[in-house]
Amino acid sequence: MAVENSEVTSMIIPELHDLGKLAADCLRGQKHSFYRSGKFMPGILIPEIVERDLTWASVIYHMKLADWSDWVRDLARPAPHHWIGPEERKALFLVCLADNLAATTVRAVYEGPQANEWRNLWSKSVFAVWRNEPAHEDPEPIKTPADLEELFTLWEKSSASAVLESLADNFRARGEDEAWPNQVTSLWAHCTLTGQYYRALEKHVEVRTSHEGLSLALDGVEVRNHEDASKRWKLRIARVTVKFHQSFARAMDVAVLRELRDALDDFESPYLLFRTGTTLYLFLPSSALSLRGILKPLTDRGFYAEAHTREAPPSSLQLWRSPRSGDVHRELIRAASAKLQKRRDHIKALLDHPGTPPGRKREVGPEVGRLDKKLRALRELESDAPVPRTTTPDSYSSFYPPEVDSTVEIEPPLCDVCQVRRGIPQRVATVTENLCNRCWELRDRGFRQADLRQWEERDSLACWICASLDPRRAELLVEALYGQRVIDGVLFVGMAPKQNEKLIPVLSQFRPLGILRDMHDEFARTITALGEAVRRIFSHVVELAEGVWIAELAEKRQLLQLLRSYVDLMKQHFPVLLEHHWRSGLLAEAAKAVRLGVSYGPAKWPFYVDWRHVSDPSHAVAVRGIRSFRFETDLPGLRALITGMGKWMDDRPPRVRRYLHELAEVERRTGLPDLAWAVVKADSKEPGPIRATAQEVVNRFDDGIRKGLFGPVQVLSLLELTFSGESSRVRGGGGDSYRIHP
């Protein structure tokens, strides 16, 4: 870098430190730098403004050259250029530390065998485990020297930030690690986390000079190299859920949802890694940082927060792993083992059968040995499935608004809405309610009852819709998805047995933070698309919060349209959750991380009843009509039902409806949907008109019946949303004789 007399650009964009990963192999040297044999690519001139930019220095420190990588990590070594002063050394040191910290919190960190054993499975594209496919964007936009020169021109004329913005989609398409099975985290997640770690650290790490040389200090702990910093500095990661006390006694009370949305949108902190819904993930690099102080903008607006915090050195810092992750891994392994064992037994029986031709025996014989090796590998993997307990337990804390202090006695009466502040008698319509100033203020700017009255006058109902991502189940879900990726590798046809053995330590070393961030981004895109579908289906829609809407329900068919749209969105964004094996045990629990709750009823119905149902549904998909209708299922069941209905929704012979009603009664009385379907199968073999009716049901829902994806009650409940004519009005419902009551 020939900039001996030039002023260095001190502003650094850490997100660009892995820029070299976007270049083709022919442009890269060792690892992912742009240098080969200590020299930059011949024939390409680096503009002076780029060459003196610290961001560019953070790009090239990756290369394994003694004059760069060693001195960046070790402050005792002299810098190779005089323009690199103490502050510049601090910046590069922290980018390197943040890079390592981001890498160890986004994927498995191998302490044993090297990933080079699986080079035949390496890939540059990120593999989205919830779609079970690689990204479609180009992970290598810098293919030629001309591409690199064009990038330098943009950098010179604009800024490093402009370069990052122009390549954002490529960062999202590129995997953070090329090595299988770690391509599950995007380079975008890794680089943005690196930037956030860096900026938080930079605020609290100070430069110190003494007769012993240069050092960096965090909370008074001085270090001079990366090894010391990784072991001696203490860092914290916190998962914070923001909540409110209010219940929805009146329609106007839902204003608290908007207030919470606005408060979270306004919440800015250099320590915020990312958020999804009302859950925040924070990085706290200093013990002097008060979590209460960071959350003060939220508690001052009347909300409270519950936080789980983990503290550890950078070398071992990771996000919480679900305590059930080992169990879900064992469940996946046992399912794969059972499938392989079934195939092995079938082949063995074929070999032992005297009627099997010799040619057929020679053809399938070697398969037994291959299956035995895979079964042994799965058993070894299962023995390593339990997650090692951390030596540093999580700490729990809660933070409340200043006026809601448990040590202060509140004189009665309590507020009728929040139950945590003193209520003041207020005249509301024809009754007197006790409301605190906070809840009265929210009502004053809340959702107007007049809108709901208009819906009531039009013979419509109020329909609540809430799509949510449960943070605890999301952590279990990414464990399951990553575990499935590893197990698929054990079963991969092209892998040698010795490579299967290398997979044993992988599950216990997985770090879920990066893939969680990517999944939250995917869910945000799902919410955006679902909002467009809601506004397309319903004529009058009010958005109350992120993923929460209240709409005017004129016909039940609109609910069916909503469910169809939701299935289509799941096919696009989370298709693996539609597969039938996500229906049992912990896999079913993990699949509930992505949830849709719908509730409809009279506009004057107490809203807290709707909210309790839609905000925490018991199933992945739950639709409820106040006092009249209930439909609950998982995503595979919903997909099979929607597929099975087909054109039958517009042409349903009365005998079929009557027959389904009788089957639903069997299920309702016994609680055994399998018994009801057994009746269907038996009737389909009997002579007479019942056989034709039963056969029609079997033909339409054969796949769902065989896999046990739904029962007759769910079929009949979904049919209730499709009645035509006058009965399709929400106050009809198809007649009491076919109504399924909860």
pLDDT, tens digit (0-9, with 9 covering 90-100), for 648-677 = 655 566 778 788 888 888 998 888 888 988
Q: How far apart are CA 452 and CA 462, in angstroms?
A: 7
Residue 73's CB is within 10 A of a number of other CB atoms, namely: 18
Residue 566 · residue 536 · CB < 8 Å: no
pLDDT band at 335 (very low <50, low <70, confident <90, very high): confident
In this prediction, residue 189 carries a pLDDT of: 93
Per-residue model confidence as pLDDT tens digits over 426-435:
877 778 888 8
pLDDT band at 408 (very low <50, low <70, confident <90, very high): low
In this prediction, residue 720 carries a pLDDT of: 78
Buried b / exposed e over 111-141, threshold 16 CB at 10 Å, is: eebebebbeebeebbbbbbbeeebbeeebbb
In this prediction, residue 319 carries a pLDDT of: 67
- Give the residue with greater pLDDT, 71 vs 423: 423
The pair of three-digit structure tokens given for residue 255, joined into one six-digit string: 């204003």
**Rounded to the nearest 5°, which phi and psi values hold at 97?**
-65, -45
In this prediction, residue 132 carries a pLDDT of: 85
In this prediction, residue 519 carries a pLDDT of: 92
Where would I find the beta strands (DSSP E) of 669-725? none
CA distances (Å), origin 175, targets 12, 178, 574, 716, 739: 23, 6, 19, 45, 51
By CB atoms closer than 10 A (0-12, 13-18, 19+), residue 705 is: buried
**Rounded to the nearest 5°, which phi and psi values hold at 544?**
-95, -30
In this prediction, residue 52 carries a pLDDT of: 80
In this prediction, residue 264 carries a pLDDT of: 93
Say which residue the tokens 């809407």 belong to: 549
Q: What is the DSSP string of 151-190?
A: HHHHHHHS-HHHHHHHTHHHHHHBBS--STT-TTSBHHHH
Judged against a pLDDT cut of 70, whether residue 38 lies above it is answered with: no
Per-residue model confidence as pLDDT tens digits over 248-273:
877 778 888 889 999 999 999 999 99
Which helix H or strand E contains 467, and what residues bound it? Answer: strand 461-469
In this prediction, residue 210 carries a pLDDT of: 84
By CB atoms closer than 10 A (0-12, 13-18, 19+), residue 579 is: middle
Q: How far apart are CA 153 and CA 162, in angstroms?
A: 11
Judged against a pLDDT cut of 60, whether residue 389 lies above it is answered with: no
- Give the residue with greater pLDDT, 362 vs 623: 623
- Give the residue with greater pLDDT, 545 vs 686: 545
The chain-wide mean pLDDT, for the chain, equals 82
Judged against a pLDDT cut of 60, whether residue 592 lies above it is answered with: yes
In this prediction, residue 106 carries a pLDDT of: 73
Tell me what the mean pLDDT of segment 591-612 comes to: 84
pLDDT band at 498 (very low <50, low <70, confident <90, very high): low
pLDDT band at 123 (very low <50, low <70, confident <90, very high): confident
